[in-house]
């Protein structure tokens, strides 16, 4: 059953006349008659009585019209919804990333996108890199921001082939210290100076913590870890209260002077964007990726 035949049927029912219906549909009257005949043959029912006053719905036509009109109406609504999606007037977008991405890097991009496309609904989830990768693979997130380690100028983590990964932002972990620390007021530190410095670090197992642990081990240090936290802001607060020193992203600092850079062997990381390549990206996802990667 062709949609054009259904539209013809509804137009004739509304106009009550073949000539007027043909004009409304921009068809010739013979073409209109041919479409109606095919529909009636397919249904095995006469839908109209041809009278001197025009086309009158039969009982079968009255019944069929009750079903056809709502279906065509829903189809038109579906076309409008698709047009809104393409035009970014409708849709959702889910993004996940670590604390640095969700708290310091994404907000201004989300704000720009929201101002341009206020009807797109955002879901932003703070999650460790491995969890982000799993959520993207599971279809729970459209876009993920993960930590990868630069190697020889490249950053290609061991990810499934169904994921695309693109470099996004380079980051460096800076040391922040309490006012009571011997390092307070300095611009740089040496790794040996951390030997007797209590540390407030991210929870074990996180990508950032792995980078920190690797660097401390490479420097031959066995640090005194006094606290493990999940939040950058919590680490900053604990450091401010004098609990110990901690490492945070340079993006989390109001000013570069608020953190100390390692004089040798700084901890750097690559933040990358990941998304699935084996599924069709929504219009909002494509547009936001373009914004992120531009």
- Tell me how far apart the alpha carbons of residues 66 and 99 are, in angstroms, rounded to a whole number: 55
> Residue 290 half-sphere exposure, CB side, CA atoms within 13 Å?
8
Clarify whether residues 59 and 123 are in a common domain.
Answer: no
Clarify whether residues 286 and 161 are in a common domain.
Answer: yes
Residue 196 is predicted with a pLDDT of 87
Clarify whether residues 43 and 189 are in a common domain.
Answer: no
Least confident of 8-12, 84-88, 209-213: 84-88
Can you read off the two tokens belonging to residue 96?
A: 């996940």
Residue 80 is predicted with a pLDDT of 67
Share of the chain above pLDDT 70, in %: 94
Closest CA to 147 of 262, 273, 285: 273
Mapping DSSP to helix (H, G, I), strand (E, B) and coil, where does residue 163 land? strand
- Strands 267-276 and 143-148, by their bridges, are antiparallel
Residue 48 domain boundaries: 3-86
Measure CA 63 to chain center.
45
Residue 149 is predicted with a pLDDT of 58
Q: Which residue has the higher pLDDT, 5 or 79?
A: 5
Mapping DSSP to helix (H, G, I), strand (E, B) and coil, where does residue 57 land? strand
Q: What is the pLDDT of residues 139-151, one digit of tens each?
A: 999 999 999 855 4
Residue 119 is predicted with a pLDDT of 84
Q: Per-residue pLDDT averaged across 249-257, rounded?
A: 92
When computed from its CA atoms, the radius of gyration of the chain, rounded to whole angstroms, is 32
Residue 282 is predicted with a pLDDT of 85
Of the residues 86, 106, 131, which one is the last residue of a structural domain? 86
Q: What is the mean pLDDT of the chain?
A: 90
Give the confidence band of 261 by pLDDT, cuts at 50, 70, 90. very high
Residue 154 is predicted with a pLDDT of 44
Count: domains in the chain: 3
Residue 32 is predicted with a pLDDT of 92
Q: Is the pLDDT of residue 105 over 70?
A: yes
141 close to 94: Cβ distance less than 8 angstroms: yes
Q: Per-residue pLDDT averaged across 275-288, rounded?
A: 89
Residue 50's CATH number: 1.10.10.10
Clarify whether residues 22 and 152 are in a common domain.
Answer: no
Residue 280's CATH number: 3.40.190.10
Q: Is the pLDDT of residue 257 over 50?
A: yes
N-term to C-term CA, the chain: 47
Give the confidence band of 152 by pLDDT, cuts at 50, 70, 90. very low
Clarify whether residues 277 and 156 are in a common domain.
Answer: yes
Of the residues 86, 111, 136, which one is the last residue of a structural domain? 86
Closest CA to 190 of 86, 264, 99, 105: 264
Q: Is the pLDDT of residue 66 over 90?
A: yes
Of the residues 59, 86, 113, which one is the last residue of a structural domain? 86
Q: Per-residue pLDDT averaged across 139-165, rounded?
A: 74
């Amino acid at each position: 059953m062709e949609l054009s035949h259904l539209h013809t049927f509804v137009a004739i029912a509304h106009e009550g006349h073949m000539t007027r219906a043909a004009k409304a549909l921009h068809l010739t009257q013979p073409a209109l008659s041919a479409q109606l005949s095919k529909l009636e043959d397919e249904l095995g029912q006469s839908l109209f009585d041809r009278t001197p006053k025009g086309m009158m719905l039969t009982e079968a036509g009255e019944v069929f019209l009750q079903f056809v009109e709502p279906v065509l109406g829903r189809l038109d609504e579906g076309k409008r919804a698709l047009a809104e999606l393409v035009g970014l007037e409708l849709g959702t977008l889910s993004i996940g990333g670590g604390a640095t991405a969700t708290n310091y890097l994404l907000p201004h991009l989300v704000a720009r996108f929201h101002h341009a496309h206020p009807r797109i609904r955002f879901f932003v989830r703070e999650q460790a890199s491995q969890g982000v990768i799993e959520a993207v693979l599971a279809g729970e997130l459209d876009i993920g921001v993960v930590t990868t380690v630069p190697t020889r100028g490249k950053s290609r983590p061991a990810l499934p082939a169904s994921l695309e990964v693109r470099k996004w932002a380079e980051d460096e972990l800076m040391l922040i210290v309490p006012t009571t620390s011997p390092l307070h007021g300095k611009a740089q530190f040496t790794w040996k100076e951390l030997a007797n410095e209590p540390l407030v670090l991210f929870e074990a197992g996180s990508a950032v913590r792995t980078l920190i642990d690797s660097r401390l081990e490479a420097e031959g240090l066995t640090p005194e870890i006094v606290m493990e936290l999940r939040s950058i802001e919590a680490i900053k607060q604990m450091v401010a209260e004098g609990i110990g020193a901690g490492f945070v992203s340079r993006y989390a600092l109001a000013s570069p002077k608020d953190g100390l850079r390692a004089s040798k062997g700084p901890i750097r990381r690559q933040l990358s964007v990941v998304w699935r390549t084996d599924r069709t990206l929504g219009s909002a996802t494509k547009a936001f990726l373009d914004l992120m990667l531009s």
